[in-house]
Amino acid sequence: MRGLLASTGILLISSAAQAAEEKKGMPQLDFANPLTLSQVVWLAIIFFTLYLLLSRWALPQVAAVLESRAARIAGDLDAARDAKAAADGAVAELTAATRKAQAEAQASVSTAVDAAKAEAAVKANAASAKLEAQLAEAEQRIAAARAAALGALRGVAATATADVVTRLAGITAEPSTIEQAVDRALAARAA
């Protein structure tokens, strides 16, 4: 398509150039015309001025805008990265703190439980010791009372026996004999 058009164009130029040959030929190749050369002089002036204006004034402006944008985007992305890192750090710190607090709480709970258990054991021991002592005392008291009762019973039994013997047999038994008999009877009962 392109080559075809271009070659058609070149054919057209050559035929047109031949057609115009008698008159002028291609104006572009008319180097006798002073305007062809003056055009080049003005071209040089305009092109050089354009180059100076672009390279000294216009393009640095564009470069400045592009650079400031790149710097700003870079700064924003750096800030985002730093903020992300800080957030990650904070989250990690928080997790660590939470874990530590939980561990501490658990430790303190278990020490408290242990202490309470120990205290309770101590109290229980003390209470049981006191109860033992009271029991022992009570037993002693019972024993004493029993002994006293037994002692009193002996006297009563002896007197009662002497009375019974006197009333039944009409005899006055020897007190020592009665006491021995009572003792024997008591021992037999106790046995």
Partner 1 sequence: MAAEQTIDALGQFKLDTALGPLGASVNFTQSNLMMLIASALILSLLYFGMRPKAVIPGRLQALAEIAYDGIYSMCHDQIGHEGRRFFPFVFTLFFFILMGNLLGLLPFSFTYTSHIAVTLSLALVVIVLTTVVALSIHGLHFFTYFFPAGAPKALAPLIIPVEVISYLSRPVSLSIRLFANMVAGHVMFEVFASFIVMMAAAGTFGVIGAAGPLALNVVLVGFELLVAFLQAYVFSILTCIYLHDAVHLH
Partner 2 sequence: MIDRTDGPKPTPDPARPGESFEQRLAAARAKQGLDPKPAESSSGQGMNSSALSVGLRVGVEMVSALIVGAALGYWLDRWLHTSPLLLSVFVLLGGAGGVANVWRLIGPKNPGK
Binding site for partner 1 (CB under 8 A): 5-6, 8-10, 12-13, 16-17, 19-20, 24, 26-29, 31, 33-44, 46-47, 49-51, 53-55, 58-59, 61-66, 68-69, 72
Restricting to residues 98-117, name those near partner 2 by CB under 8 A: 98-99, 102
Instruction: State CA 100 to chain mean position distance.
Output: 7
User: Closer CB to partner 1, residue 18 or residue 108?
Assistant: 18
CA 153, CA 185: separation in Å to the nearest integer?
12
- Give me the least distance between CB of 82 and partner 1, in Å please: 21
Q: Choose which of 35, 58, 91, 135 interacts with partner 2 (CB under 8 A).
A: 91
Tokens matching residue 11: 């054919």
CB atoms within 10 A of CB 182: 20
Total residues interacting with partner 2, rule: CB under 8 A: 20
- Give me the least distance between CB of 103 and partner 2, in Å please: 9
- Give me the least distance between CB of 60 and partner 2, in Å please: 21
Q: Which residues bind partner 2 (CB under 8 A)?
A: 1-3, 6, 70, 73-74, 77-78, 80-81, 84, 88, 91-92, 94-95, 98-99, 102
